Structure 1
Amino acid sequence: MTSSEEQEVAHANALLLDECLAKGGRDFPRASQDWESIPNLPDRRYGVWSNADAKSNGYEFPAPPGSAELTAQEDALSESWWSAYQACQSDLNLFQPLRPNGSSQNSPVDQGMRESFEALKASVEFASALKEWTSCVTSKGLTPNPADNAMVPAFPPAGEEQLRVAAIDVECKESLNSVQPLADFEARHQMAFIARHESELTEHRAQVDKVLAEAREVLATRGG
């Protein structure tokens, strides 16, 4: 599923939970949030690499508008509400998002993405890009994260300093053209994987489309 498709499924699930809770005179606050305003999560496969992402979010993920108020509202809900919510979750046949690496089941998409990333991490191309990027960020006063062999430096908590670090990180990646060769490397491996596993991938997408069709029916009939 794409990020927007995952959001459709999450919205449909929220409506089903709201309908279930309404039987006991309760509601589900997330069902009535502004779903259209929820941002898609940025791609961080190679760390932060987009200037816009770095300037807006640093290394944090963007929060939907009103998320703090919604969380505070949920924190104030009673134990009986949470018991009813858990009962609805158990009773309902909620839609599965079927996103990459989104469940314990190893889908062919999961397998293909994992294999291409493992091949990338073991490649000369990645070692070279990592070495160049490390030299660049180090020269600008940043410290590469020793616990991670991805292109992510050590960074402070959310705030202006984190945004500054992210901007330097991305500046190095852009000046060195670090990301495109890595994406090209993975694309070549993934195309070969697709050729070998086309039938399994086609079947998986059919499952995704079935879930989406059912979720969209909920959205259409329950005011989503």
Structure 2
Amino acid sequence: MLLDGRGVAGVRVVLSGVVGSTAYGLARPGSDVDRLGVFAVPTQELHGLDRPRESVVTTEPDRTFHEVAKWCRLALAGNPTVTELVWLPDELYEVRTPLGEELIGLRRSFLSAGAVRSAYLGYADQQLRKLRAREPERRAKPARHLLRLVEQALLLHETGELQVRLADPERVRELGERIAADPSLAEPLLAAAAERLARPGALPPTPDPAPVEAWLRRVRLAHLDPAPGQPQCAGQPSGITG
């Protein structure tokens, strides 16, 4: 399936949706609308001298699309940004193919306690460094993201479910303003989160890559274009969405 008008021409999108502040419930009038997606290259392009591009990133509009294998590697490592794609509220999906539905169904296979702890706390630490480096008037956004990452990590660790849309966005905004005024307030919050994430939780110690590998092989088969004059593989996408 080729990406529709909300994406990048010529890219075969498997799954895409609206992420970022809109998905978290933190968007305000004028906020950017961020989109994230997964695409598959024609399988035969993987066998040439030049590797096909693994990511497509555009601005105005803000869109990031990762090739399926790269997305899977990032998700297995616990990357918070890519992980949220398979945990979005239904209304935020814009392209949702049968293979995309399968990927959503595999979302728990990507999760592991160590990866979540390392990735989410690592990203939160990055936001704290931004807080310390910026002028006070530019600290609110990283403060909100720090709080959002901590809240999502704890819920994910303790329930095995990623809640993309925050339960109380206003509380996150208000506490974010306080942390923006005094970044040192974030330090005990991060320390407490690290302590809780070190305890046993609902997540397995390691991810389960076997079903992910099987899914990726189905994607490759579905996107194996026939030679001229040869019949198309069963299940292969044949049209262009528009």
Q: Same fold (TM over 0.5)?
A: no
TM-score in terms of structure 1 length: 0.29
Q: Could you say which structure has the higher helix fraction?
A: 1
Q: Who wins on radius of gyration, i.e. which is larger?
A: 1
TM-score in terms of structure 2 length: 0.28
